């Protein structure tokens, strides 16, 4: 079974600074995808960024980027120029490639951006 | 375009009752997945449906069931409710099972 671990229950950062959220996962498969989802207090889950395991290049989406270390099974999220609207729960998630897209989530990291 | 919609927003039930939660996917999306998110935890996969057939099932008891209709909307049913069923139930839709999932706002179920 695949597992996802987020070891930081809570983090805080000052507005405009950079913060990195950690995630590790465990799988014996080679074909899989990794995600970071954001869940603001309004609770709608939003996809932040996605990484295909077969791609060596780290994914980036504007101020969000990942550091994907496949051998170490590590998938961290870096948020640059943090904004107040980035305050949310962040979930790391994993799914195997193929016809089934079952997402396995970590327990989440609550990020607070302070003014 | 409308996103994934879920109804009701909130629901309060007592132990032993039955509940039905509803989800309408994004137009054109044919796959719907259900997740349970207990307070303080990440979502856990319950079911995935595609073209009205069950494609995957998580580690949930038989009290949980679901179906998908010809218009691709979906219902999640939970029988004999337990206190531990209190959670936020999330629905996610995608074009096909292995494409990007878009989540709805969820239904908050409280079991007393």
Question: Mind telling me how many Å the CA of A73 is from chain B's nearest CA?
Answer: 19
Test the A interface: residue of B43, B94, B107 with most A CBs within 10 Å:
B43
Token couple for B34: 């259900």
**CB nearest to A43's CB, from B55, B88, B100:** B88
Strand A74-79 versus strand B87-94 pairing type: unpaired
Token pair 């990020």 in the structure block, residue: A111
User: Chain A residue with minimal CA distance to B54?
Assistant: A100
Question: Which chain A residue has the Cα nearest residue B104?
Answer: A44
Residues of A in contact with B33 (CB under 8 A): 101-103
**Residue A100: what pLDDT?**
64
Confidence band (pLDDT; 50, 70, 90) for B69? very high
What's residue A99's pLDDT? 60
Task: Please tell me which residue of chain A has the smallest CA distance to B93.
Answer: A101
Largest CA distance in chain A: 44
Q: Can you give the pLDDT at residue A65?
A: 97
Using CB atoms within 10 Å of the CB of residue B50, give its burial: 0 to 12 exposed, 13 to 18 middle, 19+ buried: buried
pLDDT tens digits, residue range A40-83? 987 789 999 999 999 889 999 999 999 999 999 999 999 999 99
DSSP B37-93: E-TTS--EEEEEEETTEEEEE-S--TTEEEEE-TTS-EEEEE-S--GGG-EEEEEEE
Summarised one tens digit per residue, pLDDT across range B2-47 is 899 999 999 999 999 999 999 999 999 999 999 999 998 999 999 9
Q: A108 contacts in B (CB within 8 Å)? A: 41-42
What is the interface size between A and B, counted as CB pairs within 8 Å?
61
In the numeric block, which tokens belong to residue A104? 């396995």
Min distance A12 CA to chain B CA atoms (Å): 18
- Please name the member of A97, A101, A108 whose beta carbon is closest to the beta carbon of B101: A101
To the nearest whole Å, the CA of B92 is away from the closest chain A CA by 9
């Amino acid at each position: 079974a695949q597992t996802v671990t987020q070891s930081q229950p809570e983090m805080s950062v000052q507005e405009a600074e950079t913060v990195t959220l950690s995630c590790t996962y465990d799988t014996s498969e080679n074909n899989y995808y990794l995600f970071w989802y954001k869940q603001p207090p309004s609770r709608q889950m939003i996809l932040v960024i996605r990484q295909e395991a077969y791609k060596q290049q780290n994914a980036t989406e504007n101020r969000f980027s990942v550091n994907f270390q496949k051998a170490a099974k590590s998938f961290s999220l870096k948020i640059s120029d943090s904004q107040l609207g980035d305050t949310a729960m962040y979930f790391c998630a994993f799914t195997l490639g193929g016809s089934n897209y079952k997402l396995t989530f970590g327990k989440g990291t609550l990020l607070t951006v302070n003014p | 375009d409308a996103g994934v919609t879920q109804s009701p927003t909130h629901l309060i039930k007592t132990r032993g009752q039955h509940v039905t939660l509803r989800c309408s996917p994004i137009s054109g999306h044919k796959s719907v997945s259900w997740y349970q998110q207990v307070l303080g935890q990440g979502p856990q996969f319950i079911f995935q449906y595609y073209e009205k057939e069950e494609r995957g099932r998580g580690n949930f008891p038989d009290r949980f069931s679901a179906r998908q209709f010809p218009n691709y909307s979906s219902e999640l049913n939970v029988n004999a409710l337990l206190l531990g069923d209190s959670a936020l139930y999330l629905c996610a839709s995608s074009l096909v099972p292995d494409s990007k999932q878009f989540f709805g706002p969820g239904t908050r179920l409280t079991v007393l």
